[in-house]
Structure 1
Amino acid sequence: MKYYGRRVAFYAITLWAAISLNFFIPRMLPGDPADILLAKLARNGDVSPAVVQNVKLILGGSDESLWTQYWTYIKNLFHGDLGISVSKFPEPVWDLIRDALPWTICLVGIATILSFAIGIAGGAWIGWKRGTAWDAFIPFTTLLQSIPYFWLALLLVYFVGMQMGWAPVAWGWDVQTYDHPELSWPSIVDVFQHAVLPATTIILSSVGGWLVGMRNMMVSTLSEDYIVTAEAKGLRPRRVLWTYAVRNAALPSFAGFGVTLAFVVSGSLVMEQVFSYPGVGKLMITAVQNADYTLMQGVFLLTTVTVLAANFVMDIIYGFIDPRTRHHG
């Protein structure tokens, strides 16, 4: 219980620090971001006093004391109030994130899980069959991993999408057919087809790291005394592979997977931009291009909270998988 208590306390303090930094950093910037934002908002028409107060609360410049602003900011966060977007005025930041989040979670999340599963299973098998022709997959996947994300995406767009016409190359659905995706079979199929190339980009770019890491851990694990003992007892090779070797070799990968999965919310920025995919990554690029401070803050905060939450869950799961962690953590 001490292990879990320390974990809860650590992540609670870290979350408070992240929220506090998100509040204080704009107030430490040179100039007045609030005045810049209000000037941009004024170009679109009159700005209500409520919007002015909200912007100054988010970015500084309010007449209230800093301490009062801080607690009002915390209270607004609990109510889901992240401010008003400049680039999508007068849309609230939370509404924009809420609309983009499912696209990123479904695409990047599923692709990351598939990449992890393929890499772990493939690495375990190659490590088990070390010294055979299966080792030839390692240089190939390493080469794919070394190709820049955007370059691989562009290659897929040109050859697979434009030359062969096997999959759509832009957006999350057929905008000429549907204004918005629908809960119908043709619409679901259409969304799936638009996700094929972005998902393939993610899998091809990331599977090599999992494959190499798992293969090396398998080779190291297979030389351990308990593996030799299990083989000497005459246990079936399949049981030695999955019960003894894979289970122990995969532990470091699971820890890394928690961190990787946590960054799903931030999306694959370049990939979503190349495919014009309507996820959080593209939303972040839009915010940066338009100097939309409130939208950037909202995405940063969401990413930080998600990373902390995912690491916390993985720490708890890791404590169950490997009891040694609870004694040394």
Structure 2
Amino acid sequence: MTDRQAQLDQSIQRIVEAIDRDSSVSLSVQLKGAIEFGIALGDLPAGARMPSVRQMAGMLGMSPVTVSGVYSTLQGAGHIEARVGSGTFVREAVAGRPVADLRDLDRRIAELVDLGRKLGIGPAELATRISHSGNRPPQALRLLMLGNFHATTASYADALQPFLAPQDQIFITTLQDGHGPDACPDPDLVIAPRTLLPQAAGMFPRAECFGLTLIPDQATRVSLATVSPDARVVAYSYFPGFVTSMKAGVIRFAPHVTRLTMVVHGDPEAEAQLAAADVIVYASGTERLFTDLPPGQSSFEYHHTPDSNAVRSELVPMLEALRIRPPGRKEPAP
């Protein structure tokens, strides 16, 4: 079994443990959201094989029809893909530029390096020759970061800055802003959390889109690890589809917490559940609800940040390929 398949199997098991039959959120919405956010957060790695519909239904005690409907929806959104005779797999993160093309580029570079060695040209001289092969400097890029909430979207953009060239520009917009192309006319690349790739492609049909992998940031992991084992913990999410993924994350980083309740925005019992909590863990975008807590009650944000490993291995090569593309040339929309 490969490492990524083992990672997927462990993440699926956490999803199974996190599904809540007593929640006001339907089982199908819980499962769809858990898989969708699991892919976006890198817990369900690209290329790994998903359980079959019958296997997943058996693990969850759900109807195969329900699981099949969830899989069909996720496949339509581009998160998973069915391969005839092989099964269902998590799709690659890049929209509009298949990772296979980047791997082909890496293969050709390796062949070029090998040819250089045969001619007595080392990697350093080869790199110099490549850098001077054109008469124009690398292009400055116009990037657009798309998210759900402005503050979190801005934090994602800030985290990406160290990976950009000084001349690059990164703009910010959210689904709530509704600015669409006006936020950044003719961007070279639209970057969005993987869960928002379908919306990004719809808002910017002429632009290439990249799905950003997110992970809970260090402050969130530390906060979860330091929660008292005796604490009554309530985790609050604005989106019904995120509650199961959030619960799975709390289980992963705070396995010692046994008194955990999930609450979703609009739940009629939300106010009573929150009032009884010792610790409130709130999803990004809901922080304004927890600015004035009673004595003895604490809270912290369940905040994500771009996965630096995925940024280096997936986003940076894509930026470099865009940077040397002839001016005015756009790849055809998929």
TM-score over 0.5 for the pair: no
TM-score by length of 2: 0.28
Q: Which has the higher contact order (CA 8 A, sep 6+)?
A: 1
Task: Please identify which structure carries the higher helix content.
Answer: 1
Larger Rg: 1
Which has a greater percent of strand?
A: 2
